[in-house]
Amino acid sequence: MELPRPSPLVMERRAEIVARLKAALPADTVIDDPRGLLAYECDALTAYRCPPLAVVLPRSTAEVATALRLCHEMDVPVVPRGAGTSLAGGSLPTADAVVIGVARLTRVLETDYADRLIRVETGRTNLSVTGAVEADGFFYAPDPSSQLACAIAGNIGMNSGGAHCLKYGVTTNNLLGVTMVLMDGTVTEIGGGYMDAGDLDLLSVICGSEGQLGIVTEATLRILPKPEGARPVLMGFGSSRVAGACVSDIIEAGVLPVAIEFMDRPCIRACEAFAHAGYPDVEALLIIEVEGAPAEIDHQLGLIRAIAERHDPEVIRESGSAEESAAIWLGRKSAFGAMGQINDYMCLDGTIPVTELPLVLERIGALSAQYGLGVANVFHAGDGNMHPLILFDANKPGDLELCEQMGADILRLCVEVGGCLTGEHGVGVEKRDLMTVQFAADDLEAQLKVKDVFDPKWLLNAAKVFPLAVTEGRRP
């Protein structure tokens, strides 16, 4: 994986750039000592690291605007950063870049239950948005597994999803408005407490633009009343193929659970050892959650059970208590951490049409044998968003490269069957060079044209999302 060479023109002005930022911003806002910069050298894609030129941690939209305006004037690249939990290297710096982080922007600005919205600064974590409203019976729906740590800014950048988006949608479906600072320091207000855009729906391109169009400092988010109750059911099957067929049947039957999660045996064992959720030892496990009043839950689970019985499940076990439900979800949400305890792994994020699940699982198995690398599968089965974890040994020379090749083959497979490279983690640097697998040259060019409008100098996070060869000539 290649990053653009740092611009010598920027590197030789390092002292001047830092001095101007420090002169315009409060003293503790600018970090430039080598040790301080190390904390920002990577995000959750830890295989790649590079300390930035400087880090700015503003306390207000106005300070973000000041920092951006100065960088724009000085032609300095900027890498926006939320909480640094990107699995795709979305906030990986380059040596000539100023990182602008929103970590200090954490306030709740407004809560309105009558209009069912909350306005927050975007450094606030996903879970603490729900935390601000749950005592009053509301929640913020998108729930990425990293929700304890990840920031709303990053959720907007990557259009984050989560286990429950089968029912509630992803970030773009729950975002009503933003305050966004453009690269030249212009502060824009886009959308607001109302539901539809007046003219162009700019929120739709801002959400998921991976910090390439501006820095979002405030967000108006839709909040929803909490359901009366929710209950997961665990089902174990003798093969992944059968579990996949069961998912398809449930969806076609008109039952719409809030979540359908899938795990295979390697993943089940790791999660069980880590979280003691009481998972059965089977080839394939589904966690299906439904919501509503107790009688509604019973009714829906009854329908789901009836469908599952046709697929000869080895185990069907409903959660019997709030504690059991929490344990079931803790197991699933700990999946990446649990696997990390026993192995180095690379986590993929391709999405496929749900109907292709059995085929794709079979071919991933074949690729696993071909490359000699183990794979653990955990994913959002209801919407086809797969997270195969490829196991490798970081200390074994060549293993990471082999793993990356196998990952690329799996993502090509996702595209081949009608899916896409990334369902919720984003492209970042990780999948950047595979974009030509999914998009023709004209399709990519159309996207670059959008960035041309928001960031004509191509200073914002410009080494991400698109293959470097494609953006050559646009980047400084």
Q: Considering only residues 417 through 446, tell me which ones interact with another protein, judged by CB under 8 A.
A: 418-427, 431, 435, 438-440, 442-446
* Residue 217 vs 300, nearer CB to another protein: 300
* Residue 292 vs 476, nearer CB to another protein: 292
Given candidates 44, 158, 271, 308, which one binds another protein under the rule CB under 8 A?
158
Q: Does 238 bind another protein (CB under 8 A)?
A: no
Given candidates 6, 238, 353, 467, which one binds another protein under the rule CB under 8 A?
353
Q: Considering only residues 313 through 352, tell me which ones interact with another protein, judged by CB under 8 A.
A: 351-352
Q: For residues 102 and 78, is the Cβ–Cβ distance under 8 A?
A: no
Q: Which tokens belong to 166?
A: 């089968």
Report the side by side order of strands in the sheet with 98-101: 30-31, 54-56, 98-101, 78-81
**Phi and psi, residue 426, nearest 5°:** 95, 170
CA 99 from centroid of its chain's CA atoms: 19
How many CB atoms neighbour CB 440 within 10 A?
A: 9
Q: How far apart are the first and last CA of the chain?
A: 20
Q: Does 258 bind another protein (CB under 8 A)?
A: no
Instruction: State the pairing for strand pair 284-291/54-56.
Output: unpaired
Q: Rounded to whole angstroms, how far apart are CA atoms 77 and 213?
A: 13
Q: Does 108 bind another protein (CB under 8 A)?
A: no
Given candidates 300, 368, 461, 471, which one binds another protein under the rule CB under 8 A?
300
Q: Does 452 bind another protein (CB under 8 A)?
A: yes
Q: Does 464 bind another protein (CB under 8 A)?
A: no
* Residue 2 vs 452, nearer CB to another protein: 452
Q: Considering only residues 372 through 391, tell me which ones interact with another protein, judged by CB under 8 A.
A: 380, 383-385
SS3 318: strand
Q: Does 169 bind another protein (CB under 8 A)?
A: yes
Q: Does 205 bind another protein (CB under 8 A)?
A: yes
Q: Does 226 bind another protein (CB under 8 A)?
A: yes
CB of 309 to another protein, least distance (A): 19
Q: Does 110 bind another protein (CB under 8 A)?
A: no
Q: Does 65 bind another protein (CB under 8 A)?
A: no
Q: Rounded to whole angstroms, how far apart are CA atoms 413 and 26?
A: 50
* Residue 204 vs 405, nearer CB to another protein: 204
Tokens 């984003």, located at residue:
426
Contacts of 326 (CB under 8 A, 6+ apart): none
